[in-house]
A and B are shown apart, each in its own frame.
Chain A
Amino acid sequence: AQKITQTQPGMFVQEKEAVTLDCTYDTSDQSYGLFWYKQPSSGEMIFLIYQGSYDEQNATEGRYSLNFQKARKSANLVISASQLGDSAMYFCAMRRRTTGNQFYFGTGTSLTVIP
């Protein structure tokens, strides 16, 4: 069975500081994709960043970067220069390529940016 673990139910960060949101996963698959989504209080799930299991370099998208450590099965999200608008729920997810492309979501981390 696939399992995504986010051990930080809630996090606080000062505006303009960097923050790391943890994600570990458990799979026996060799090929998979890892994703981070942001969900503001409005409800929409916003795609942030993607890392393929065979990608050798860590993914980056603007202020978001993914610290991918395959041997440790971790895919932590780093947000640099936090902004007030970053306050939201953040979900780590894994997509298996061998099944119906469905996602497995972690339990989420609620991030609050303090002015």
Chain B
Amino acid sequence: DTEVTQTPKHLVMGMTNKKSLKCEQHMGHRAMYWYKQKAKKPPELMFVYSYEKLSINESVPSRFSPECPNSSLLNLHLHALQPEDSALYLCASSPRDSDYGYTFGSGTRLTVV
């Protein structure tokens, strides 16, 4: 299995809703990442997990809450989002110490209404 699987692929949520994005990999990678990408822009790093521990939080608002229950699974819990949070949310994983690139999921397209 050489994939990173993200669900759902599309999500529409209201500003008062609570939802979660899920990311799963079975490649034995011990680093996992959440990125946010607006249209026509590069991905922006949000969080980094290394060996299931949060190692980097790029000053992300608390309405985004990451969780890494085990080495294969990464969640992003969403609560009280704003319309400007609408974006493509990409998950990626990599071996902890590697010269090679990330493996990205296909992303979740989030629309906040």
A43 nearest in chain B by CB position: B107
Would you call the interface of chain A mostly helix, strand, loop, or mixed?
A: strand
Question: Which residue in B31, B55, B101, B107 is a CB contact (below 8 Å) of A50?
Answer: B101
Interface positions of B (Cβ within 8 A of A) = 31, 33, 40-43, 45, 48, 50, 55-56, 88, 90, 92, 94, 96-107, 109
B31 nearest in chain A by CB position: A101
Mask, A13-35, CB within 8 Å of B = 1, is: 00000000000000000000101
The interface residues of chain B lying within 8 Å CB-to-CB of A89 are 40
Task: Choose among B56, B98, B101 the residue with the greatest number of A CB atoms under 10 Å from its CB.
Answer: B101
Mask, A81-115, CB within 8 Å of B = 1, is: 00000000101010101001111011110100000
In the complex, how many residues of chain A place their beta carbon closer than 8 angstroms to a beta carbon of chain B? 25
The interface residues of chain A lying within 8 Å CB-to-CB of B105 are 44
Contact B90–A102 (Cβ < 8 Å)? no
Interface positions of A (Cβ within 8 A of B) = 33, 35, 37, 42-47, 50, 52, 89, 91, 93, 95, 97, 100-103, 105-108, 110
The interface residues of chain B lying within 8 Å CB-to-CB of A44 are 104-107
CA distance A102 to B43 in the complex (A): 12
Question: Which residue in B56, B98, B99 is a CB contact (below 8 Å) of A102?
Answer: B56
The interface residues of chain A lying within 8 Å CB-to-CB of B43 are 45, 91, 103, 105
B41 to chain A, nearest CB (A): 7
Given contact pairs A37-B101, A47-B102, A47-B103, enumerate 4 new A-B contacts (beta carbons under 8 Å): A45-B90, A52-B99, A102-B33, A108-B42
